[in-house]
Amino acid sequence: MMMCDEMIQGIRQVLVQLSSFGSFE
């Protein structure tokens, strides 16, 4: 499986969003 930079950026954005939600809890 080859991961494109765009895919990696998208995944990182999701991780950042999840981290933000975790802070709210």
pLDDT value of position 24: 64
Query: Which pLDDT score is estimated for 8?
Result: 94
In this prediction, residue 13 carries a pLDDT of: 96
Distance CA 6, CA 9 (A): 5
Compute the radius of gyration of the chain from its Cα atoms.
Answer: 11
User: What pLDDT does residue 25 have?
Assistant: 60
Q: Rounded to whole angstroms, how far apart are CA atoms 7 and 18?
A: 17
CB neighbourhood size of 21 (10 A):
8
pLDDT for 22: 74
Express the helix, strand and coil content of the chain in percent, nearest 5 each: 80, 0, 20
Tens-digit pLDDT profile for residues 1-25: 667 899 999 999 999 999 888 776 6
